[in-house]
Structure 1
Amino acid sequence: MIKRMSLISAYIALGCAATVLPVLISIYIANEDVARREQRDLSLYAEKAMMRTELVTYQGFAAIADLQAEHAEPCSPEYLKRAAHVIFNYRYVRDAGAYGDGRYLCSPLLGEVRTQDVELPPPRWRSNDGYLVWFQQKNPLSDLREDIQIGRNGEYVSIDPQSYVDVMDPAGRAIATINTELNSIVALSSGADPDEMLHAWKQAGRVDSDEWNYAVARSETRALGVVVKGRRTSLFRDWPGLLATWLSFGVAMGAAFGWFAFKRISRQVSFQASLEWAISHKTIDVVYQPIVNLATSECVGVEALARWNLNGRDISPNIFIALAEQHGLIQSLTDLVFDQALQDLAELLRSRPSFYVSVNVSGEDLRTPRFLNLINARLAGTGLRPAQIRIEATERSFLNADVTRQTIAAFRSAGHPVYIDDFGTGYSSLAYLQTFMIDVLKIDKSFVDTIAQDAASSIVAPHIIEMAHELGAEIVAEGIERSEQVEYLVRRGVQYGQGWLFAKAMRREELLAWLEARRASHAPAQPAIQ
């Protein structure tokens, strides 16, 4: 009897283990996956915060350069007027003026204080290129307000420290900006603990905590870094409740999940098969969006874009291109777009040797010379110039520098200009981009939209323009919809643009008619009818 009870108990225990262990293992795997995702998301947030820090610092440097540009006598009426102009033009600059011999001399905020001996203590830090920085500098007019002051050659600007850490984040994660040479805090978001954030920085974010994750990022051009902090999610904190839930609803959820997975997989396979069929049977449409010289309103070229209509419904390119990349169809799709563009536009390109068409390529075709060999084969005997076929690749395609650099150089050596598309969405720095030789940067529409608006991201477009000028690259602004955007971009030295202000993407016949109408009328580009 006892032996039988023991056997029954063993079976019960084995059954419980067989039921509970998969649940526990699933929870453990899910917990590890959540931790990895949270850390990756926090690292991306740190990169975003680092970009904000660099942009605010760059604005301070630009404001000083603007202040010095007039060469007016310090503290003269003309000088103070110029300083007031600088304060008004630069969003994060609170004050600007002159200093010397350890004293403030004047500013629009302080006025003329040369005779009042308003003390300016020695700077906390000096950069290699001659900038002086005061951290937590008390404003002479207030016992409460502390600014970050940047000075050079007798001129200074004051910046609100919160500008460095004012990054839009619904989760409200903490940020600290760090001077990497002094290992000291420059700016701190509200509610953050300075000792904790500095400790996390010194540990490179590797802090043993059950409650918080940390991530750090460093500037490649300045002695600046950021550390960010986000709450850690743990599935094991409420493991008894989770276990009871899984045991109670396991069968029902398993059945529901199985049905959903079956439907999802069936749909995915069907969708993938439809795309593969559309590519092989060349039912993907190719349309062309004009690229316009902003100064002259002349259409200089077009971008070839893929469009797919499935059973009367237009499928977003973001969806079917991502699907093509996931299932090894992207190279066939790129070939189709190029072949169709060559067929549609060969006569136009021969008649206008300066006109061009740009074709988007994926990261796959930046790893090998396959697509370049295809272009060379297709262009043979057509009479077209290599420069009339241009290559566009998204910023993320450049991340594997060692693999892609050689292919990019081969495209350019063959005479095909190389563009970085949707620039500004991948947090690339100037130092990183200088390792590549590229011809054109395309500013993403999301940044062009903020031009002439009081938005937090409106400072990104001028920063990208400056980076392009530093690289010696031309610029194409995407998504232009308003004439004031054109005026702003021309003032900043942006050469080209595309968007609905000029024309939507068009089929070959519409494009040729549009070009002929413009040629006949000699009129500048007009807004497209929406």
Structure 2
Amino acid sequence: MKHPQYWLLLKIAKSPKAFTFGAGLLIAALLALASATSIWWLDEARTSEKHENAIQTMQAVLAESADLLQHLATHGNLDCGHISLVHLNTHLLQSRFLREIGILDADDRLVCSSAVGRLPHPVKGNYPASTSLSGIKILVDVPLQMANKKVNATILQQGGFNAVVSPHITEDVYSSADAVWLRGATSLELLRPISAKADTLMHMRERAARASGTATHRQGLGYELITSAPDIDLVLQTQRRAGAIIQDNELLLAALLMGSVVIAALAAGTLAPYVTRLGAVQHRVRFLCREEHLVLLYQPIFDLASGKPIGCEVLMRLKEENTIWMPDQLIPTLLAAGLTKPLDYAVTRKAMRELSSLLPVQPEPFHVALNYFPASIDYEKLSTQFASQETVRKDIQICIEITEHSLSSELAREVKAFKEQGFLIAIDDFGTGYSNLKSVTNLSPNVLKIDKSLVFELEEATIRSNLIPEIVSIARAVDAMIVAEGIEKLEQVQLLADLGVQFGQGYALARPMKIKPFLAFLREKTSQAQACT
């Protein structure tokens, strides 16, 4: 399974435009979600404010009404006479919320009021009444004639008197919520009927009865807000569906969504160059240094005199789905990221595992050349990569290749430790640097590998190719074997042999192969050799 971060980086590399577009869509979606959340929060805040204002208004209305009704009840001698009516109107003028005061007889019939005086006949209104916990009887939507207008008023009754609340005040309260409940002695009573099914109304009543203070319940994409106060017997309940919220805030929501799209488009444009850079291989190379991405190729090394394979050089490619990365493409990135050591060690483990398990037992030591960056030549750490293999083959001779450019005194100390443990040391790409006999003698390598650029110009006898005899002389002086790289023409084999070069590799002899074709190639060469003998 791919690492999630690598999977994402690979997707970005494949489709940077699609990723940028997707990022823009995601930003737009998040902004749209934030916009919708803001609208929902704003709508809830407005509903809560309506409830709070209505509660505060009714607290003031009930407080004023209760004080007045209690005062009138204790007065004792009020009747429908002129003085009593003047007294009622005096209180009415001092009131903020009341528009009429009436006197009731023992049967709760209205006998006179501050507005019309004594009635010809006592009036008994047959209207539904609810009684609060505090004992005030409330009649809702009572039809009255006030200021030459027919209105539906709310009347409060207590102690033989009633008070008519200003219809404007009560309408504001009733319109502030879907349901206005009054706490009675046994249950909540709905002050004004609402259009709802019986079971819906029952559940609303249950939730309102359980609520304390302000409570919000999520209902799908909408919400229900219930508001009450400890010193008032009213409970307000409002349900807001998503459709209603959108409809009431459509202009603001449209503006926010349009702004979200514009911001997302600008963000996507800003992200585009960063996404392109993020898709570069340097951001994925640390994942490519794992064994599952390694493609190992084995290029045979031949004895030029007999044509017999005596070993191989392990070459590495990095596979990323259908893409093959050559080492030269990634070396700068690997060096910059400090990943040369993990890569070299992964190559070592995989190569030794494949060869140890699949290579037939060899009658003579089979040389396996492995290339290493200078930082990887650490005896304590690198030797464990060989020792960790399940099977240590005595017929496999490991040759550690280092480039001529990497020679240093620190490297020489590590090389010495490897040589003491029986490893071969080869200087790769020899002839391209500034090594002399003294520096090579100090390192005392087992193998000098002639750089392919010298072999390429061999037939033309150029100045560069004329260095080969000098390299042969240096190799003989330090008792090192010589391997020529980059043999691309069969004619070069004899020329090299004539110059004293013992071994060689190149496309003219055999191309690099994966492990199974490589083993088949060795079997074929072995069969040919046996047939000749």
* TM-score for the superposition, normalised by structure 2: 0.46
* TM-score for the superposition, normalised by structure 1: 0.46
Q: Which one has a bigger Cα radius of gyration? A: 2
